Structure 1
């Protein structure tokens, strides 16, 4: 399972929100030849547009993003979050398939109501909204980047059955998982 910080994936996968409209992430790629090679391959493929360019670019972009995520995750681990809300969200991102508010309250030795209030005050979102966002971000990554069946993806995301996953995904993205993949969003 991907362990990259969900803030990076939100930054990359949801540019339509104003939350990151004036932000950027700076990466030093001179030390990472994998990222440099992938970037060069993408530029060359895009410049030489052919009939199958999109099919070639898709795995290159996914590989590029995975390399960036690894680098970002390694850098993020050097600076562990100081704020309790950041620690909680980080924990949620690592355990999004099984985490509950009660688990977090026990882990951090606070009452569930306090955790819930803290998250809402710090992020403007409820525990459930944050968890849903994390699961949907992972869903997109798994749908786009793997050939796993939707039943397996729903299981990996912590859904008890694929029907619940379908309904949740459709409510979140206004289309089914299959339609999302085929639409190229």
Structure 2
């Protein structure tokens, strides 16, 4: 389960045992962030809300990094295809086949044929899948605008995002709530 899925699609039924537990030493940076947030909340000003939003993003990124570090699978236990897919997912907003080849040290033709052989999908299809999964999660679970989500996912043009989303899910991002996934 990814950190993003944990927050955006929490399991809420009575039988779910999914939770994230992390331990932080007393001198960890997280306590400074939480302390700053508490002081800002206690001493509210006209900029408190925007400052708390920024600090919450920082806290979330810190927790995400810590979670990834603690839950990293040893490389020898993970197949090359799985590591490539994880890399694509982690960098889906800007990854290219060239980035994948540079990171893993293989020729682009080899990576293309290897991914297709192991997954049945091309690099472009895998990238689109990861982007669309993130888009759906963000659209269903946040108040972010479609334009913001489009930009976050690496689309330089919102109309390209609309087109890709419509082709992938068969519905416009604006009409997402009318269709269940």
Normalized against structure 1, the TM-score is what? 0.60
Paired residues for 1:34-183 under 5 Å? 76-80=71-75, 82-183=78-179
Greater Rg over alpha carbons, structure: 2
Count of equivalent residues? 130
Cα-Cα RMSD: 3.2
Q: Which runs of 5+ in 1 are unaligned?
A: 13-26, 33-69
Q: Do 1:166 and 1:176's aligned partners in 2 also have CA atoms closer than 8 Å?
A: yes
Normalized against structure 2, the TM-score is what? 0.61
User: Which residue does 1:56 correspond to in 2?
Assistant: none
Q: Which runs of 5+ in 2 are unaligned?
A: 10-15, 22-63
Q: Do 1:136 and 1:169's aligned partners in 2 also have CA atoms closer than 8 Å?
A: yes
